[in-house]
Each structure stands twice: as C-alpha cells, then as structure tokens.
Structure 1
Amino acid sequence: MIGERPFAVPAGLLAPSAGEGATPAHDALGWLRAAGSLAVLAGFAYLLLLAWVYHHQERLIFRPAPLPATHRFALADVHEVAIPVAGATLSALHLRLPNPRGLIFFLHGNSGNAADWLRSTDFYRAANYDLLLLDYRGYGKSGGRIESEEQLRADVRAAWQAVAPAYAGRRLVIYGRSLGTALAAGLAAEVQPDLTILVSPYCSMRQLMRQHHPLLPPALLRYPLATCADAAGIDGPLLLVHGERDSLIPIAHSEQLAAVAPHARLLRLADAAHADVHEFPAYGSELMRALQALPARPSEEDE
C-alpha cells in the first residue's frame, strides 16, 4: 500500500546467511547477545518473584476459611469463646464437660476453620477432657489477619492464658496438628504442660521450604517456625504421630524431633499420609492411652 514501508528485521536479531558474508564469530556474537538479554530478563523476573514471596508469603502458608458472624456451631456442650488480642478478637470453640480430667488445647493446621476441625466430640467425651480449639486471625469467625510469626505466637499465648487458669490442678495437654505443631511446641516449651502431642509435625518451615521450593533462598522466609528448636526445651512427655506415606511433611521430620526432644515417643502409621492420620485406629488408641496414663495432680488425689 502507498505510504507503507516493507517490514524490516532489526539489525542484530537475525544473523546474515553465509552467502551474505556472515562469519562464525559474528553468528556466535549474536547468540551471546540474545542469551545475555534472556538472562537479564530471567534474573529480573526471579527478583520480582522473590519480592512477591517475601511480602505475600502469608498467602502461601495460610489458607483460612472465614465464617460469617451469624454462623452458629451446633455441637452439644461446645461454647463459642471470644478472646481479645492486639487489634482483633479471636474465636475459639470450648467443649466444657461436667467434671473433666483436664484440658486439651488444640492448634489446628493451615486450612479450614474450627467448624472443619471439630465435627465430633466423641473422643474427648470418652477421654473426659475439655477442649479449646482456637481459630487464628482470619480463620472462621476470628478477626484481623496474620502479619508475623511473633503476632501469631502472641495470639496463641493469649488464648492459653485466657483458658488455662480455670484448669489449675487438672491435667493440661497441648495438641498441634501440621502447621500448628510449631506453635504447640513453642507454647509447650514456655508453659511445660503435662503432655504435648504433635501430629504430622515439621522440624522447621525453612527445612520444608528447601524440600518443596529449592530455588527459593530460605532467608526469604518470615515464618521460620522452628519446631525442633522448641521441642528440645519440652521437659514433659511428647507424643509424635506421623504417617509413613506423608509426602507433604515426610516422617523424617518427626524422626528429627524424636532425636532432639528428651522425652519424645514416635508413633509411626505405616499406611497413613498427611491428612488422614486421625482415621487410623492406632491414632485414637495411642492418644487415649497417653491421656489416661497421665498421673493425677495433687488436688485430684485429694478428691
């Protein structure tokens, strides 16, 4: 068409053919320049990825399922508890039995909410233990959002302090599942409960990051969640439960925990993976045995 210029390939993008006077050195130089440009673009994209992961890693670690404020839990003897923390109010479910032997303080995994994690109270009734199941910020009916590991640990500590004093003289058990195992181990190292239970635990989030995302530098992680370091400070009995088919958190993590914790015992479930551990009879029977084996506190002996 009039006024249009024929399409021209920019100089340097295509090397001339040998018949047009190209030399091997000239051809190699063109490829090197293209490769260098691609390397620069790849490096820039990698830096952008690192920046995104650093500032938004909560989206990768935490998978909350919010509930409307009007939601009501329909389990008998289970009460909703509001726990005030800095800048938010946390929601928890509290099973209260007539004369419980003690309390199980439950810290759940990274997805769902309390309604997902407590569908039946039969086990706790059979063991005669009350239960406090906490929803982290943004989970269930809890307000706010998780912003740091320090904040998360402070919230867990506040929830413990809100309920544990009412069980003075009774058995105190801290239970963590998956994500919650690091929080449970940290709290247990501080308050030294009668029993700590960690189900599908990890030695540290940094170690998990190296396993699942080897191209990302561990220093990028703002949630190191060092379970092994805290478990070494637990003086009382520690029960570890892990599925041997767990590909998300391999059982080697529990083996490391058993090696560093002074009073740890590991229950290996040969056919269990990560999310189905509680479906195996050995899981329930071992937890029941561990709970019933706890010695009575002096106030109970006097009753």
Structure 2
Amino acid sequence: MPPTARSPLANARTVAPLLRLWRGARWVAGLAVLAVLLWALALVALWFGQERLLFHPVPLADSEPLSREADVSERFVDVPGARLSVLELRRPRPEGVVFFLHGNSGHLKEWFTDGGPYRRANLDLVMMDYRGFGKSSGRIESQAQLQADVEAVWQSVAARYAGLRVIVYGRSLGTGLAAAWAARHQPALTILVSPYESMQALAAQHYPWVPSALLRYPLRSDQALAQVRSPVLLVHGDQDRLIPLAHSQALARQAPQARLVVIPGAAHDDVHRFASYQAVLARALSAPSAGR
C-alpha cells in the first residue's frame, strides 16, 4: 500500500466519532426545539388563560342574603352582557361614601366583614362583585371591561354623593382598579391595602419567564397614582409574601402625596384583623385630613 494512502480501518476510526458527535448535536438541537415549542405553548395558554390565574370567583345563590343587618341592602347594576351585584350600607344622613373594590377571590358576603368603621365615621359603603363573583353574572374578559364595570357601578350612585366626601378603598387586586378610578375622579382620599406597583412588576417576581408584553391586565398602579392629586394612604403587612411590602414602598416613592403605614406581623390575607390596621382605618375614615 502506498505510504500516503489511508486504510479503511483508519477512515472508520475518524468517521465514527464525527457520527457520534453529529447524532449528539441533533439530539441536543431536538431537545432545544422541543423546549422552545413547550415554552411557546405555555405562553399561548397563558395569553388565553390569564383570567383563570388572576381571578378566583366564588358564586353565590341569588337566594342567599349578603347581609342581614338592617342598614345593609343589595341590588344589581346592569352592564353590557352581565349584571353586577352591589352591596350598600346606608346611613340616615351620611357625610360621604366609601367605594370599596375587593380582591381577586370570594364574593361580597365574605368581603363585607365589619360595617362598624363606616357607621362610626358616618359614611355610606358601596361594594361590588366583579363578573362571575357572588351573584354577578357574566365573565371577566379584559382590563377595559373590568374598569368599565367599576365605573358603571360608581355612576349608579354618584349623584347621591355630589358635594360629599368620597373615598375609594382598594384591597389587593382591587388596588389597581381603585388607583385608576382615583386618577379619573380625584376622590378626597384613596386607600390602597396590600397594593402592587403594577401587575407587570408582580408577575416578574412570580413568573420571571413570562414576557411582560404578554400580560393583558397590566394594572399600572404606579402610573395611575402619578395622576392622583389628592391624599393616598398605603397600608401593607410586612409579612406579605404574595404582594411584598416593596411594592408599597415603590409606590410611596413615586407618589409624593402618598403615606405608607406598615402593619408589623401582618401577611396578605389577615392584615384587616390587626388592631393597628383597624386604628389606621378608623383615623383615615374619621376626618378629611386623616389620610395624611
């Protein structure tokens, strides 16, 4: 055999590692493509399933009373494609009203826990259930729809409180809705309990793999509060793991008219049970300057 020629055995030894490398590369590439496809499918599912992640409504039979207290009544507000359940606590000669926007679960029967603070401040209370919550019919489909529903409920009572003190109170999910409502109406006081800077910022903490542009409910509390000229009271538990205290701290830095009160030991779902929270709420409701 000429010195420059290579034997078939030598060629096989050279080609075999290359084949193994090629097969390995194809396997890795296949896994990468599969991972991208799964990620894309997860994003598509998230795009169409955000309502199931954000909202956890609990239905309530129409025959079930929201409250049996004499000064509490219930009614419905008709909106396109649904009717919304509304609870009202009415005082004989109120000095104003608290418009209450609750969190992302349950229904009004669960959220109306104590009318005492509003009675003692001589304020009416108006609360609403979002679509699909409690006795409200329909289904939440967009942020614009949700905000329009909030506005429709307010407009159903607004004339009654012309010239009186108006306070908007948001809790958890409802804080983003309350902040946007306050930017439009400039109430005497905005109370946000366990608020988030934005749903985008909150999602970045819990779902860092999700692009922010994918969120159909950005709920930019930070941008809304920048347009609120009246006092804002932020209340947050320092043990809140669902919406960390850092969100209220960020909002307080961005909104110079805001005051932050931290409730030591309180988490997300139990902040209203703390005496320090109850004292803060009582002061805020009692006088126009108390929010400051």
> Would the TM-score normalized by the shorter structure come out above 0.5?
yes
Q: For residue 66 of structure 2, give the secondary structure of its aligned residue in structure 1.
A: coil
The reply to whether residue 60 of structure 1 matches residue 53 of structure 2 is yes
Q: Which residue of 1 aligns with 2:282?
A: 288
Match for 2:165: what amino acid?
A: R
- Selected match of 1:256 from 241, 246, 250: 250
Q: For residue 57 of structure 1, give the secondary structure of its aligned residue in structure 2.
A: helix
Q: Which residue of 2 aligns with 1:4?
A: none
Q: Which residue of 2 aligns with 1:180?
A: 174
Contact 1:75/1:120 (<8 A) preserved: no
Q: Distance in 2 between matches of 1:74 and 1:139?
A: 16
Match for 2:51: what amino acid?
A: E
The reply to whether residue 71 of structure 1 matches residue 101 of structure 2 is no
Q: For residue 267 of structure 1, give the secondary structure of its aligned residue in structure 2.
A: strand
Q: Which residue of 2 aligns with 1:242?
A: 236
Q: Which residue of 1 aligns with 2:44?
A: 51
- Selected match of 2:198 from 204, 210, 226: 204
- Selected match of 1:266 from 260, 266, 271: 260
Contact 1:234/1:262 (<8 A) preserved: no
Q: Distance in 2 between matches of 1:264 and 1:190?
A: 17
Q: CA deviation at 1:122?
A: 2.0
Q: Distance in 2 between matches of 1:281 and 1:163?
A: 31
Q: For residue 234 of structure 1, give the secondary structure of its aligned residue in structure 2.
A: coil
Q: Distance in 1 between matches of 2:166 and 2:217?
A: 27
The reply to whether residue 31 of structure 1 matches residue 6 of structure 2 is no
The reply to whether residue 147 of structure 1 matches residue 141 of structure 2 is yes
Q: CA deviation at 1:126?
A: 2.1
Match for 1:49: what amino acid?
A: A
Cα deviation 1:116-170 (Å, max 9, x = unaligned): 1013322222222111111001111111111100010011011111112101232
> Counterparts of 1:77-92 in structure 2 under 5 Å?
77-92=71-86
TM-score (structure 1 length as normaliser):
0.88
TM-score (structure 2 length as normaliser):
0.91
Cα deviation 1:258-295 (Å, max 9, x = unaligned): 11223110001121111111111111111111222216
Contact 1:81/1:92 (<8 A) preserved: yes
Moved segments of 4+, more than 4 Å: none
Q: Which runs of 5+ in 1 are unaligned?
A: 1-19, 296-303
Q: For residue 53 of structure 2, give the secondary structure of its aligned residue in structure 1.
A: helix
Match for 1:64: what amino acid?
A: P
Q: Distance in 2 between matches of 1:74 and 1:249?
A: 30
Q: Which runs of 5+ in 2 are unaligned?
A: 1-12
Contact 1:272/1:280 (<8 A) preserved: yes
Q: CA deviation at 1:199?
A: 0.3
Superposition RMSD in Å: 1.6
Contact 2:98/2:124 (<8 A) preserved: yes
Q: Distance in 2 between matches of 1:241 and 1:192?
A: 19
Contact 2:67/2:109 (<8 A) preserved: no
The reply to whether residue 233 of structure 1 matches residue 227 of structure 2 is yes
Q: Which residue of 2 aligns with 1:107?
A: 101
Q: Distance in 1 between matches of 2:67 and 2:173?
A: 26
- Selected match of 1:137 from 89, 114, 131: 131
Match for 1:236: what amino acid?
A: S
Q: For residue 72 of structure 1, give the secondary structure of its aligned residue in structure 2.
A: coil
Count of residues in correspondence between the two structures: 277
Match for 2:18: what amino acid?
A: A
Cα deviation 1:189-241 (Å, max 9, x = unaligned): 11111111000000110111111100111111011100010011111110000
Q: Which moved more, 1:199-208 or 1:124-133?
A: 124-133
